[in-house]
Amino acid sequence: MHWLIDPLQHPHIQRALAICVLAGFANGYLSAFVVLRKSALQVGSLSHTLLPGIAVGILLFGLSPLSAFAGALVAALLVGLGSLTVARSSRLGQETALAILFTAAFAGGILILDFAPVDVDIEHYLFGNILFATDDDLRTVFWVSAIALVTLTALRRPVILMLFEPAAAQSLGVPVRLLNYVLLGLLILVLVSSLQAVGCLLALGLLVTPAATVYLLTDRTEALFWGGGLIGAGGAVTALFLSHHFDIGAGAAIILTLAGLFFLAWMASPRYGLLRRRAMLVTAGGAPPLRD
C-alpha cells in the first residue's frame, strides 16, 4: 500500500488529488452535454481562447488565480459572442468565424505573455501545473464545480429535453435560448477550473472523453451525466498516481488515461464495442446501425 499512501503525505499532492476529483467530476458531468450537443469542436475553440484571456488578466492585474480566471472568462465570452456576431453579419458560418477568432486570440495571447511583467511559464497554462496548485486554486475549483453540478442537476430534465428535441422542448415551454446561454456560461466556468489540472490545450479532452466513453456503454441518458462524472474523477485520480510514480506530466497523464478508457470501451463495450459488432456480423449477420 506504500505506493498509495506515501504520496498522500505531501500537501501539494493532497491538493492536487482534491482538484482531480472536483474538476474531473465536474468536467465529466458536463461532458455529457458537450457530447449530446455534438459541440466538441466549439468547446475546443473556447478552451484555446482561455490563454489570451489569462495573459491579459495577468498583464492588467498581476499574477493571481482570480485575475487569470476573470481574464479567461471575459476572453471566452468575447470570442464566443464575437463569432456569433461575425456569423450573423457576414455570409460565413459560425464555425469558420470561431476558428478565425480563436486562433487570432491564441496568437495574441502568446505575444502578450512575452510582455508580462512577471515571469510566466507559458507551459503551465498550456499543459497544466496541478502540483503547483495553491489553496486559492483549490477553492476556485471547488466553487466552480459546486455551481456547475448543482445548476446542471437542477436543470437536467429541460436540458435533456432540449438536447434531444429542441422543438418539442420549446413547445413544452422550455426557454431554449436562455438555457443555451446558461449552459455556455457553465462550460466556460468549468473549462477555466480545469486549466490547473490539464491546461488549455488539453482541457477539451477532459470535457469530451468521459461522456463519450459512457456513450458507448449505455442507452440511459442520465447515466451519461453521472457516469461521465465518475469516469472523469476516477481517471484523473488514477492518472495523478501514475504521474507521481512514473514522474510524468500530470495533465498529459490525465488525458491519456481517459483516452485509454475510451479506447477500451470502443473495443470491448458489451453493447456497442467493436468486438461485439464483429461477433454480431459473424453470427447473426446484422449489427446495430452505425451513425451515418
Partner 1 sequence: MTRDLDPYQPCAAASCGHPQRHELAISGLTVSYGSLTALEEVSLTTHCGRCVALVGPNGAGKSTLMKAMAGLLRPTRGMIAWRGQPLARATAEIAYLAQRSEVDWQFPLTVRGLVEMGRYPQVGWWRRFSARDDAAVDQALETMRLSDLAGRQIGALSGGQQQRAFVARALAQEAHVLLLDEPFGGLDRPSQELLTELLGMLALSGRLIIAAHHDLDSVPEIFDEVLLVNRRRIAFGPVDEVFTPDNLAACFGTPAQPAPLPPPDRDRPAGVRPSAS
Q: Is 95 in the site for partner 1 (CB under 8 A)?
A: no
Using rule CB under 8 A, residue 245 touches partner 1: no
Closest to partner 1 by CB, 50 or 265: 265
Q: C-alpha cell of 29?
A: 458531468
> What gap in Å lies between CA 201 and CA 198, rounded to an integer?
8
Residue 267, amino acid: M
Three-state DSSP class for 193? helix
CB of 266 to partner 1, least distance (A): 15
Map residues 121-150 to x or -, x wherever contact with partner 1 holds by CB under 8 A.
------------------------------
User: Does 288 engage in binding with partner 1 (CB under 8 A)?
Assistant: yes
Residues in the chain: 292
Q: Is 165 in the site for partner 1 (CB under 8 A)?
A: yes
Interface with partner 1 in residues 260-279 (CB under 8 A): none
Q: Is 86 exposed, middle or buried (0-12, 13-18, 19+ CB in 10 A)?
A: middle
Q: Are 79 and 98 in contact (CB under 8 A)?
A: yes
Minimum CB separation from partner 1 for residue 167, in Å?
6
The only residue of 154, 264, 267, 280 in contact with partner 1, by rule CB under 8 A:
154
Is residue 187 near partner 1 by the rule CB under 8 A? no
Q: Is 89 near partner 1 (CB under 8 A)? A: no
Kindly state whether residue 230 participates in binding partner 1, applying the rule CB under 8 A.
no
- Considering only CA atoms, give the Rg of the chain: 20
Q: Note whether 158 binds partner 1 by CB under 8 A.
A: yes
Nine-digit cell string for 100 = 478565425
* The binder of partner 1 chosen from 98, 224, 239, 261 (CB under 8 A): 224
CB of 168 to partner 1, least distance (A): 6
Distances (CA, A) of 14 to 20, 137, 143, 190: 10, 13, 18, 21
State which of residues 157, 177, 245, 278 lies at the interface with partner 1 (CB under 8 A). 157
Distances (CA, A) of 207 to 111, 167, 254: 27, 26, 12
**Other Cβ atoms closer than 10 A to 4:** 8
Query: According to CB under 8 A, which one of 9, 219, 283, 285 is a site residue for partner 1?
Result: 219
DSSP alpha helix (H) spans, the chain: 2-5, 11-37, 40-61, 65-89, 94-115, 122-127, 135-154, 156-164, 166-171, 176-206, 209-215, 221-246, 250-268, 274-283
Task: Confirm or reject binding of residue 286 to partner 1 (CB under 8 A).
Answer: no
Determine, following the binding rule CB under 8 A, whether residue 117 of this chain makes contact with partner 1.
no
CB of 271 to partner 1, least distance (A): 9
Q: Which three cell numbers stand for residue 55?
A: 495573459
- Piece in contact with partner 1 (CB under 8 A), picked from 53-61, 157-165, 232-240, 279-287: 157-165
The count of residues interacting with partner 1 (CB under 8 A) is 26
Residues in contact with partner 1 by the rule CB under 8 A: 36, 154-155, 157-158, 160-161, 163-165, 167-168, 170-173, 215, 218-221, 223-224, 288-289, 291
